[in-house]
Amino acid sequence: MITNESCGLRPLDRPDCLWRLTHAVVGRVAWAGCGGRAVLVPVNFVIDGPGIVFLTAAGGHLFEAVRSRSRLTFEADGTGPASDEGWSVLLSGRPEIITDRGKVRSLEQHPLAAWARVPHRRFVRMAAEEITGHVMPLRRAGTEGPAG
């Protein structure tokens, strides 16, 4: 039987998950769309306390999922400093549209850009109700070892 340990996966605790997210720029937001089909979209994001903030277009599919308070899952990944390990973090929670003008003005100071130019963008906060992650060794080309 293949286990996390035999694959070299090492779990991350909550603080390490949040720390690693500070080193990622792009993540993916996923949710169950119409008919239960998985929908996954890339987003730029920033850390906001124990959660993340991203931009979305008012009226788009992601905005509708946020507005309906659907449970979302966010994922980001990256490599370690020496690129000999990879990591992945999953954050799940219910999103909320940020309406506080002071908070919006503060977020507008971040280098946070939407993937597409949209006229009616909204900031969305997603608290980390659940957060998990793991680190895995990366196999260099031409070597034997664990593969992802």
**What pLDDT digit, counting tens, does each position of 57-80 carry?**
888 888 999 998 888 999 999 987
User: Exposed, middle or buried, 91 (CB in 10 Å: 0-12/13-18/19+)?
Assistant: buried
Tell me the average pLDDT across 34-52.
Answer: 89
| This prediction's pTM | 0.81
Nearest to 54 by CA among 29, 33, 76, 36: 29
Residue 19: pLDDT band by 50, 70, 90 thresholds?
very high
Q: Which amino acid is at 114?
A: A
